[in-house]
Chain A
Amino acid sequence: MSQRWNSNGFRIVCPVRHRLLFVLVALLVGCATPQTNQRVQEGGVEARTQSKTYKGLTVSTSVLSAEESAEAYGVPLAEKGIQPVWVRVDNNEAQAFWLLAQGMDAGFFPASEAAEAFAAGRTGEEQAGLAAHFEKLAFRNPVPPGSTVSGHVLTNLDEGVKLVQVDLISSKQSRSFSFMSAVSGFQADYHVREAFSGSLYIESEVVDYDDLGSLRRALEALPCCTTNADGSRQGDPLNLVIIGGLSDAFPALVRRGWRPTEATRIESVMKMIKSALSGERYRYAPVSPLYVYGRPQELALQKARDNIHQRNHLRLWLAPLRYQGKQVWVGQISRDIGSRFTIHSPYLTTHKIDPNVDEARDALIEDMAYSQNLVEVGLVAGVGTASKDMPRQNLTTDPYYTDGFRAALIFDAKPTSLTDIGFLQWESPGGAILLDQDRGAVQ
């Protein structure tokens, strides 16, 4: 292995024995010459690099596979649950911008911390060398006007797909860029890219609503519940509607720590069991498929709390409707209340959901209120009431009860503060509360 240094401050360790891989990684860290660019285009990484431009900013990203990150860093980052995302920002605006790593992953790893994860068994000098190397690969703020900065943000390992959110801040302004990336080396279990690309439905199947009244009626008419594969039994209630897509709704979820999860496979089940036994956090407790429109969820997301026993799950299906051009996703959300305080078997307890399913729905409303992208929220009928005394059961025989409403959350790319979120004058819990038309009367 040899070290190479490029001219603009981004340096990499270059394994000579994998010339092609070196070239690919070299592109990722922003130091490729035009000649190597040509060679890179023959490989697979180039195909994964995505770029977007808004006003004077162009952002490019790519997610490194476990093999690529091991080659670039000289240590197996993926084994510690770390996944580098390469980011390049071309700033042709008049102001400097800061990239916020927290927006890409609320639990991101500072470069120095990631290097320390590999300190064991190394001399002080080797550790210092490792730290210097990690620091050199890291994305360094700010991005001055008229310049280009590239480097890595170290995120938690995602499997299958990764939502890469790039938030850039300048004085009194912000820019957000969102990417859906396939993660090389993992099986993508869902047709999520098909959904995001708009190829899931033919255009004539999709109804675009312009006004809130007709949207509300359409949301009320959605199916009440998920089903099993052949549609013969009903499962969890569809208590959630997300209105928005890759530029607004999903960035909000990512900022608040929601991550895609892989569908149930035996490897992930084994990892979950190991995690449960050790008490460590495993971000990818598998999510079993549920069915709407005769197909499994397009995307399953989860938000891990402190460990496997604490997590909220949601599943989303793209509905054949839009609101003012925005995608509409119907979904199901529940809170695992697990076994944090008990010695119950992890097999039994990790499936235990809070029977008050409205609690998880309302918690998501609150969570998204802090995301800066939620503009309006309301409740609509359509789930059907299930009382505490006469609870319904989901497919795993967990009882649940609900006021029968689903939350509709409308997102927009323009940041909205907590003081500006609109509450739609639709249903209200308990039916006893009249929402007031008088906006801002409190202050």
Chain B
Amino acid sequence: MLAISGCATWQAPADPSVENIRARAISESSGDVDVKAAILSAEDTRRIFGADLNAAGVQVIWVEVDNRSSVPLRFMHTGTDANYYSPLEVAWSLHVTFGGATNDRIDDYFDAKAFENPIPARQLRRGFIFTNPEPVVKLFNIDLVGNRTMVPFTLILPVPDTPPGKDATALSKRVAAVRGPDYQTAEALRAALEAAPCCTRVGAEKAIGGPVNVVMVGTLGDLGSALVRRGYRRDLRSDDFVQRVYGRPPDIVIRKYAQGVDSSKWVRFWVAPFRYRGRPVFLCQVGRPVGGRFAANDGPLVLQVDVDEARNHFVGDMLYSGGLAQLGFVDGDGGDDDAPVAVPKPYQTDGLRAVFVMATRPLSMSDTEFLDWVPYVRQREAEASGLAAE
């Protein structure tokens, strides 16, 4: 990990004002609660904290919560980033050996700047939180929890210092631009999903990449909350970019970051050209690279052939997310907007795609309803009895 340099000369910053940050903050309201948030640029962190915290792998977010309700609320750092940094953890990285009084001043400074819980009823709180970095745009999940109540938000925050050519609002624009049909019944949705592209295509020859094996239905906020709570973060790599559905690369790609605790599974999203009961629909390709967490970090990402395994594990993740209202399976070898290509698929699958209908209100894992679409269970049952008869 990086050392933050220049610590020996640390001085309390002369201009720690947040006016410019507040001015560009993204706002959202829900009932009696307003939130604002913005990510700090490298320059902001130098100006406010006296060191380039971005360079040390910390993404600092300024948050303001105006709680006009009658209930004290708690900002859940874990819901924003399960591996967030405590203020004094970041401060300690600026410490110098035998720095005594200076180190104490650094600690005091970070402590004073940090977002403080709880947010009392009818009060406003603002401060900084210290998260792991995400490029281009951050799905910033805010779970405000009070006594037997909760107010969730998902803000889409542009990341400063992003190289030109990356549009942080591209995903929201893409979702807003969907002009296709808005299906009102589960049966109509199912028919549309069965007719959706079977798989991703790669290169001019339109070779088959991976199966479209997951469908997520819900607002960006609903999806963001569930995925962030399970440790997924945005991460687009060059190997993702060549994968195409509807003739375009993924609109967003997420991975689970914590080193060594996941098999490097990816979820590639494409906004579908239709809606379900007014809500966006996303076609997803879930897979993992050969080698998983045991592979070298810099190798190419080759799809592991047993894609159903990755899909089924993603089902488990979503069941624990608190955001899964309905789960079903549909056939996924149906329509294709590309001409059929008689090439072997580089994967094995039972041909089913898992469909997640996400909810805003957090749910416990006992609340998920299993849709009686393709009887996945009965199919497996028949398979099992077939094996037993061998």
Q: Are B319 and A417 in contact (CB under 8 A)?
A: no
* Binary A-proximity of B367-390 (CB < 8 A = 1, otherwise 0): 111100000111011001001101
Q: Are A102 and B320 in contact (CB under 8 A)?
A: yes
Q: Which residues in A have their C-beta under 8 angstroms from that of B384?
A: 8-9, 144, 147, 149
* Binary B-proximity of A146-175 (CB < 8 A = 1, otherwise 0): 010100000000000000000101111110
In Å, the complex CA distance between A304 and B262 comes to 13
In Å, the complex CA distance between A310 and B86 comes to 11
Residue B353 CB within 8 A of the other chain:
no
Residue B161 CB within 8 A of the other chain:
no
Interface residues of A in 264-291 (CB under 8 A from B): 280-281
Residue A343 CB within 8 A of the other chain:
yes
Interface residues of B in 99-137 (CB under 8 A from A): 107-108, 111, 117-118, 120-121
Cβ distance B309 to chain A, nearest Cβ, rounded Å: 5
Residue from A310, A341, A421, A433 within 8 A of B145 (CB atoms): A421
Q: Are B2 and A341 in contact (CB under 8 A)?
A: yes
* Binary A-proximity of B320-353 (CB < 8 A = 1, otherwise 0): 1010000000000000000000000000000000
Q: Is the interface of A mostly helix, strand, loop or mixed?
A: loop
| Partner-contacting stretch, out of B9-17, B40-48, B75-83, B192-200 | B75-83
Residue A211 CB within 8 A of the other chain:
no
Known: A141-B312, A341-B93. A418 touches B150 (CB 8 A): yes
Residue A96 CB within 8 A of the other chain:
yes
Residue B171 CB within 8 A of the other chain:
no
Q: Are B294 and A113 in contact (CB under 8 A)?
A: yes
Q: Are B79 and A366 in contact (CB under 8 A)?
A: yes
Residue B167 CB within 8 A of the other chain:
no
Residue B184 CB within 8 A of the other chain:
no
Q: Which residues in A have their C-beta under 8 angstroms from that of B292?
A: 109-110, 113, 116-117
Q: Are B309 and A356 in contact (CB under 8 A)?
A: no
Known: A101-B313, A419-B361. A116 touches B88 (CB 8 A): no
Q: Are A416 and B364 in contact (CB under 8 A)?
A: yes
Known: A388-B108, A441-B69. A142 touches B380 (CB 8 A): yes
Q: Which residues in B have their C-beta under 8 angstroms from that of A141?
A: 312, 380
The interface on chain A, measured as residues whose beta carbon lies within 8 A of the other chain's beta carbons, has a size of 88
Interface residues of B in 350-365 (CB under 8 A from A): 361-365
Q: Which residues in A have their C-beta under 8 angstroms from that of B363?
A: 417
In Å, the complex CA distance between A112 and B310 comes to 10
| Partner-contacting stretch, out of B174-182, B235-243, B253-261, B275-283 | B253-261
Known: A101-B316, A106-B261. A429 touches B108 (CB 8 A): no
Residue A438 CB within 8 A of the other chain:
yes
Interface residues of A in 399-416 (CB under 8 A from B): 414-416
Known: A112-B304, A341-B4, A369-B78. A433 touches B313 (CB 8 A): no
In Å, the complex CA distance between A131 and B304 comes to 11
In Å, the complex CA distance between A80 and B295 comes to 13
Q: Are B120 and A433 in contact (CB under 8 A)?
A: yes
Q: Are A135 and B306 in contact (CB under 8 A)?
A: yes
Q: Are A419 and B148 in contact (CB under 8 A)?
A: yes
Q: Which residues in A have their C-beta under 8 angstroms from that of B83?
A: 305-306, 310
Closest to A365 in B: B74
Cβ distance B156 to chain A, nearest Cβ, rounded Å: 21
Closest to B372 in A: A171
* Binary A-proximity of B272-298 (CB < 8 A = 1, otherwise 0): 000000000000000010111111000
Residue from A102, A356, A417 within 8 A of B364 (CB atoms): A417
Q: Which residues in A have their C-beta under 8 angstroms from that of B315?
A: 98
Closest to A99 in B: B316
Q: Which residues in A have their C-beta under 8 angstroms from that of B73?
A: 442
Interface centre among A101, A342, A415 (most CB of B within 10 A): A342
Q: Are A442 and B288 in contact (CB under 8 A)?
A: no
Residue from A116, A354, A443 within 8 A of B149 (CB atoms): A443
Q: Which residues in A have their C-beta under 8 angstroms from that of B107?
A: 355
* Binary A-proximity of B150-172 (CB < 8 A = 1, otherwise 0): 11000000000000000000000
Q: Are A366 and B316 in contact (CB under 8 A)?
A: no
Q: Are B89 and A144 in contact (CB under 8 A)?
A: no
Residue A372 CB within 8 A of the other chain:
yes
In Å, the complex CA distance between A103 and B230 comes to 12
Residue B3 CB within 8 A of the other chain:
yes
Q: Which residues in A have their C-beta under 8 angstroms from that of B120?
A: 432-434
Residue A440 CB within 8 A of the other chain:
yes
Closest to B75 in A: A366
Residue from B79, B89, B143, B312 within 8 A of A335 (CB atoms): B89
Q: Are A433 and B72 in contact (CB under 8 A)?
A: yes
Q: Which residues in B have their C-beta under 8 angstroms from that of A42?
A: none
Cβ distance B68 to chain A, nearest Cβ, rounded Å: 10
In Å, the complex CA distance between A337 and B94 comes to 12
Q: Are A116 and B387 in contact (CB under 8 A)?
A: no
Q: Are A100 and B31 in contact (CB under 8 A)?
A: no
Q: Which residues in A have their C-beta under 8 angstroms from that of B312?
A: 141
Residue B147 CB within 8 A of the other chain:
yes
Q: Are A433 and B149 in contact (CB under 8 A)?
A: no
Q: Which residues in B have their C-beta under 8 angstroms from that of A359?
A: 86-88
Cβ distance B344 to chain A, nearest Cβ, rounded Å: 16
Cβ distance B358 to chain A, nearest Cβ, rounded Å: 14
Q: Are A438 and B70 in contact (CB under 8 A)?
A: yes
Known: A110-B292, A306-B259. A372 touches B365 (CB 8 A): yes
Q: Are B320 and A103 in contact (CB under 8 A)?
A: yes
Residue B71 CB within 8 A of the other chain:
yes
Cβ distance A423 to chain B, nearest Cβ, rounded Å: 4
* Binary B-proximity of A69-107 (CB < 8 A = 1, otherwise 0): 000000000001000000000000000101011110011
Cβ distance A43 to chain B, nearest Cβ, rounded Å: 27
Cβ distance B331 to chain A, nearest Cβ, rounded Å: 18
Residue B56 CB within 8 A of the other chain:
yes
22 A–B contacts, CB within 8 A, in A order = A8-B384, A101-B316, A107-B261, A110-B309, A112-B306, A113-B291, A117-B294, A142-B380, A144-B378, A147-B381, A149-B384, A169-B319, A174-B364, A340-B1, A341-B3, A341-B4, A355-B107, A356-B86, A419-B150, A433-B118, A434-B121, A436-B70
In the A-B complex, the 3 residue pairs with the closest CB atoms: A107-B261, A341-B93, A171-B370
Q: Known pairs A172-B369, A305-B258, A388-B108. 12 more at Cβ < 8 A?
A: A96-B381, A102-B320, A110-B310, A141-B380, A144-B380, A257-B261, A337-B92, A359-B87, A366-B76, A421-B145, A442-B149, A442-B150
